[in-house]
Amino acid sequence: MSGANRIAGKGRLTPARTVRFTFDGQALTAVEGDTLASALIANGIHLTGRSFKYHRPRGMLSAGPEEPNALMDIGRDSARRTPNVRATVQEVFDGMQAKSQNRWPSLSFDIGAVNNLASPMFAAGFYYKTFMWPKAAWKKLYEPVIRNAAGLGVSPSERDPDHYANHHAHCDVLVIGGGVAGLAAALSAAHAGAEVIICDEQPEMGGAFRHETDTTIAGKSGFDWAQAVVAELRAMDNVRVLTRTTAFGYQAQNHVGLVERVTEHLAAPDARLPRERMWQVRARQVVIATGAIERHMVFANNDRPGIMLASAARTFLNHFGVAVGARVGVYTANDSAYNAAFDLKRAGVSIPVIVDVRPQVDAALLARAADLGIEVLTGHAVVDTKGSLRVRSMKVARIGGGGGKDYAIDALIMSSGWTPSVHMYSQSRGKVVWDEASERFLPGVHPQASMSIGACNGTDDLNETIAEAVRAGRESAEKAGVASGGGWAPPAAVAGTSWAGNMMGSGEGAGPDTTVKAFVDFQNDVTAKDIRLAVREGMESIEHVKRFTTNGMATDQGKTSNIHGLAIAAEMLDRPLPKVGLTTFRSPYTPVTFGAIVNHSRGALFDPTRKTPMHDWEAAHGAVFEDVGQWKRAWYYPRTGEDMHQAVNRECRTVREAAGLFDASTLGKIEVVGPDAAAFLNLLYTNSWDKLEPGRCKYGIMLREDGFIYDDGVVGRMAEDRFHVTTTTGGAPRVMHHMEDYLQTEFPHLKVWLTSTSEQWAVIAVQGPKAREIIAPLVEGIDMSSEAMPHMSVREGRICGVPTRLFRMSFTGEAGFEVNVPADYGKAVWEAIWARAEPMGACAYGTEAMHVLRAEKGYIIVGQDTDGTVTPDDAGLNWAVAKKKPDFVGIRGMKRPDLVREGRKQLVGLQTRDPKIVLEEGAQIVADPNQTVPMKMLGHVTSSYWSENCGRSIAMGVVAGGRSLMGQTLYVPMPDRTIEVTVTDTVFIDKQGERLNG
């Protein structure tokens, strides 16, 4: 027998199929199909954790996803651990390791329980008040102590070895919930011809029939009828049945997120199966059939282990065959708890008394109680309980009568009524409406293509529910535009349980004049007193009450607590409950693992990696790569024994002394073609393109409409109507977007076509005095002499037999070429050039040397030397702004008063007095280092390097009025010293530019 509290002949599990698991290291036996909760109770264990704030002993409150207390750490092995799993949802598998949380050193003896004694300190709002001052104490004292004492669960430290699946699904009708309403709606919609998905969070569908066993439908018990319907649905081609699948998020336009737990219940899952599967369903129509959630009673010490919802006790008995106790007290304001008591009694459990707060109770119920020999006390209340690690007695008193009598019990089941589960409706942006007659919030207008049916819609009667569901299924199919002639007639049903009776807020003995701990929200340890305190502190809006007390927050989302909290606040405010308002239910309905959300997007699949055609060659030649956006770019090529600085120094020297090869393939490239191509570029760039002859190229600057530099690059004119535009590496997509925007919406009259060619061309920069000599023998059909092909020209021909666009241009200040070849030939051409270059003393150089070489020449990098607030004039690029053009993007913006005023920051060179000191990029520049802090800052360093070619450090920076400060001394204050710098122009090498003509 797997547990002393199994009742022979009860429940739907097969007793012979046992599985072994551990709880806090103790070996226990369960039956296949048990949840951790049912298995623990079968073994007589109710104590499952300590509460969040007060560390009070807690047990299972429920038997389902609304469970606020029994949160466990579930492990399969050291890497497969999940904290905060609800024991009432987790199915036991062979070898499962379950651990209680939030206790130290052990569950039965917990140091943190001292918080319970010090509870005035932990009253509502304690975070906000107690720990406001002094500030330093928060970090050093309060927070670490609170985190150690209160944290719920510990995240696993190892990498998750499992995989997760993501499935986009489309259907005509999505049915959320597999109770009687959902099943009937699904069958009705399916028979009408709709593509249907139905999901339910439980392993078996049937909803309330898991616990409610008195109903018959079509001559079968409710549960058996449900299984027959599921079998029928599964057999239909147009239906997908998803069990263990929770709808957790309802987004815009019927986009509903479901998470399916695929292997969490299996002892030895197939490694090919995903652990969980995320379903992103887009449904034409959604039918919400999420049922109702039972509420607890709010009275003093209502949180001891063994005290639980009546429906939970009934589920444990009727589904799992487990009695929650041997002597069970009943405290209710609702009829359905009677059926729970009757079931327990018939299974041999002693029921000393049913305590009902209502003065009048249905006579038939009272008669059945009498038949079973159960005492019923109407107009009475449970006013207190005793028992340290499990409830052992309850005190029962007449309402308004005082005093009371103690009953010895080992479990107490309770019900204050049923709250329609409007979470999904509320998430769909629906606004709940207060129904005065039944005193509950119900769905109002459905803002999306959806409808609510059954208990979540406030439909209590079984036959009405079925009729409503059949109608909804039919209507959904019709609205989805797929309804055919078929249909499904509702079966005859006889209900066995009444769900009537409703009580909200605190009960007898837990009113405003008391100081008892009557819990409203078990997960967040919020008592009735806390809610009253919040109102007394001036929180009038329920949203403020929620945040002040944390009622209904975190993973719980107020499933059992919201209505009680609202009722107590309303009573304190002396306002009708609907006037105080219900808080918003947020997604997710129940916690969703990061694994399911992140899904495939991890490791190499987290973000695309872009590699140039020459990448493998670079890697084989020892390149160290840097990430530039998604690109991997060769940063430098260290030789044996070289560190980064030595490698970069050698590369910089070699380029100026011999030559270097650089992979410039990541540059953005856009082909601008059409009769109006030049006119278009005239509008997009500050430069004028009219006079640029085919075969020549030019450096262009692009502004935003506000007059600030947006991008730059060299543009070659391939033909009268064809330009080869280059952009910065990072700017390629946004420049294309910017160009398309103007072409499509502002200048649609221009006949121009734009094509992104960034990945079509591999680009090999060959720079240095020997550049021409290296490539000339490989080139066909192009006269490469300096006279025929001067600096800033472009030719089409062939290199190594493949087509090339050969640019004569330079980003180093040396004579050089940029060889563009179709990307597929990039590596072969690179290797051919390298075969000639290497024996001639050339090297391959990376992005770091490229940065140094360009800085030696004062060439800016957009995004490094500019930051979105730099004008062409600020950057010293006025020469590139056409003076006579009537229009270009930015022409008006750059004339704004602030952009033309004196004293703007201008790009200048900076030379440290000590040539060995290399400034830090981003360092601030001041005129007087002895002024008081905060100092007046004139600007900052934008680029700074050691220049081996100059034999000293070089830097550029933006400085207020910088060009008028040439030769003057400024200062860069650093934490450890102040660095003296001289303002210079930005060209540090070959000021006449003679090397370009090499």
Partner 1 sequence: MLLIHCPYCQEERPELEFRNTGEAHIARPADIANISDEAFEVFFFLRDNPKGLTYERWRHIHGCGRFFNAVRDTVSDKFVTTYKAGLPKVAVVRADDGSVRVSDRVEGAGL
Applying CB under 8 A, the span of 536-544, 599-607, 610-618, 733-741 interacting with partner 1 comes to 733-741
Q: Which is nearer to partner 1, 464 or 887 (CB)?
A: 887
The answer to whether residue 720 forms part of the interface with partner 1 (CB under 8 A) is: no
Footprint (CB under 8 A) of partner 1, residues 255-314: 255, 282
Q: Is 253 in the site for partner 1 (CB under 8 A)?
A: yes
243 part of the interface to partner 1, by CB under 8 A: no
Residue 748 found at the interface with partner 1 (CB under 8 A): yes
Question: Which segment (501-509, 692-700, 737-745, 814-822) binds partner 1 by CB under 8 A?
Answer: 737-745
By the rule CB under 8 A, 869 interacts with partner 1: no
Is residue 740 part of the contact set for partner 1 (CB under 8 A)?
Answer: yes
Minimum CB separation of residue 673 from partner 1 in Å reads 16
According to DSSP, the β-strands at 393-398 and 624-628 are unpaired
Which residue among 17, 167, 600, 892 contacts partner 1 (CB under 8 A)?
892
Instruction: Kindly state the tokens that stand for 806.
Output: 């050969």
Burial class of 960 by CB neighbour count within 10 A (0 to 12, 13 to 18, 19+): middle
Q: How far is the CB of 904 from partner 1 (least distance, A)?
A: 17
Q: Which is nearer to partner 1, 352 or 893 (CB)?
A: 893
- Sort residue 565 into left (φ over 0), alpha (ψ -120 to 50) or beta: alpha
Out of 891, 918, 935, 960, the residue judged to bind partner 1 by CB under 8 A: 891
How many angstroms separate the CA atoms of 220 and 598, rounded? Answer: 43
For residue 546, the minimal CB distance to partner 1 (Å) is: 23
Q: Which of 464, 543, 831, 887 binds partner 1 (CB under 8 A)?
A: 887
| CA dist 194 → 181, 288, 485 (Å) | 17, 16, 11
- Min dist. Cβ of residue 477 to partner 1 (A): 21
Q: Does residue 674 bind partner 1 (CB under 8 A)?
A: no
Q: Which is nearer to partner 1, 184 or 899 (CB)?
A: 899
State in angstroms the smallest separation of the CB of 726 from partner 1: 21
CA distances to 49, 82, 83, 259, 948 from 74, in Å: 13, 5, 6, 18, 60
Minimum CB distance to partner 1 smaller for 895 or for 977: 895
- DSSP line for 135-158: HHHIIIIIHHHHHHHH-------S
**Minimum distance from residue 223 beta carbon to partner 1 (Å):** 37
Nearest to partner 1 of 433, 619 (CB atom)? 433
With DSSP H G I counted as helix, E B as strand and the rest as coil, what are the percentages for the chain, rounded to 5? 25, 30, 45
CB atoms within 10 A of CB 717: 23
Q: Does 252 bind partner 1 (CB under 8 A)?
A: yes
Are the C-beta atoms of residues 966 and 983 closer than 8 Å to each other? yes
838 contacts partner 1 (rule: CB under 8 A): no
CB nearer to partner 1: give 251 or 584.
Answer: 251
Q: How far is the CB of 610 from partner 1 (least distance, A)?
A: 17
**Contact positions with partner 1 (CB under 8 A) in 422-461:** 429, 447
| 311: CB partners within 8 A, 6+ apart | 62, 63, 208, 211, 294, 336, 340, 415
Least distance to partner 1, CB of residue 448, Å: 9
Residue selected from 897, 934, 951, 975 as contacting partner 1 according to rule CB under 8 A: 897
Residues 698-717 binding partner 1 (CB under 8 A) are: 705-706
Q: Which is nearer to partner 1, 235 or 445 (CB)?
A: 445
Q: Does 578 bind partner 1 (CB under 8 A)?
A: no
Residue 926: DSSP 8-state:
B
Nearer to partner 1 by C-beta: 746 or 838? Answer: 746
Strand order in the sheet with 697-703: 697-703, 709-719, 722-727, 668-673, 753-756
- Stretches 12-20, 390-398, 739-747, 769-777: which one binds partner 1 (CB under 8 A)? 739-747
Stretch that binds partner 1, among 79-87, 577-585, 836-844, 884-892 (CB under 8 A): 884-892
Q: Furthest-apart CA pair in the chain: how many Å?
A: 116
Tokens for 776, please give them.
């000339």
Cα distances (angstroms) measured from residue 271 to each of 7, 263, 275: 37, 10, 9
CB of 884 to partner 1, least distance (A): 11
Q: Pick between residue 346 and residue 895 the one whose CB is nearest to partner 1.
A: 895
Q: Minimum distance between the CB of residue 227 and partner 1, rounded to whole angstroms?
A: 35
Contact with partner 1 (CB under 8 A): which of 893, 915, 929, 998? 893
Handedness of CA 342, 343, 346, 348 (dihedral sign): negative
**Cβ distance 708 to 869 under 8 Å?**
yes
User: Which of 775-778's residues contact partners 24+ apart within 8 Å by CB, and which partners?
Assistant: 775/799, 775/817, 775/819, 775/833, 775/836, 777/836, 778/829, 778/832, 778/833, 778/836
CA distances from 285 to 176, 476, 966 (A): 11, 6, 72
Listing DSSP states for 313-362 in one string gives HHHHHHTT-B-S-SBEEEEESSTHHHHHHHHHHHTT-B---EEES-S---
Please say which residue, 255 or 798, places its beta carbon nearer to partner 1. 255
Q: What are phi and psi of 846, to 5 degrees?
A: -105, -170
Label the pairing between strands 255-261 and 276-288: antiparallel
Q: Is 797 helix (H, G, I), strand (E, B) or coil?
A: strand
How near is the Cβ of 707 to partner 1 at its closest, in Å? 10
CB of 205 to partner 1, least distance (A): 28
Q: How far is the CB of 741 from partner 1 (least distance, A)?
A: 6
| Shortest CB 887 distance to partner 1, Å | 6
HEC-encoded secondary structure of 475-531: HHHHHCCCCCCCCCCCCCEECCCCCCCCCCCECCCCCCCCCCCCEEECCCCEEHHHH
CB-based contacts of 935: which residues, under 8 Å, 6+ apart?
924, 926, 928, 929, 973
Q: For partner 1, which stretch binds (CB under 8 A), given 436-444, 607-615, 738-746, 915-923?
A: 738-746
Q: Should residue 170 be labelled a site residue for partner 1 when binding is judged by CB under 8 A?
A: no
Size of interface with partner 1, in residues (CB under 8 A) = 23
Closest approach of Cβ 132 to partner 1, in Å? 35
- 746 forms part of the interface with partner 1 (CB under 8 A): yes
Conformational region of residue 574, where left means phi above 0, alpha means psi within -120 to 50, and beta covers everything else: left
Residues in the site for partner 1, rule: CB under 8 A? 251-253, 255, 282, 429, 447, 705-706, 737, 740-741, 744-746, 748, 886-887, 891-893, 896-897
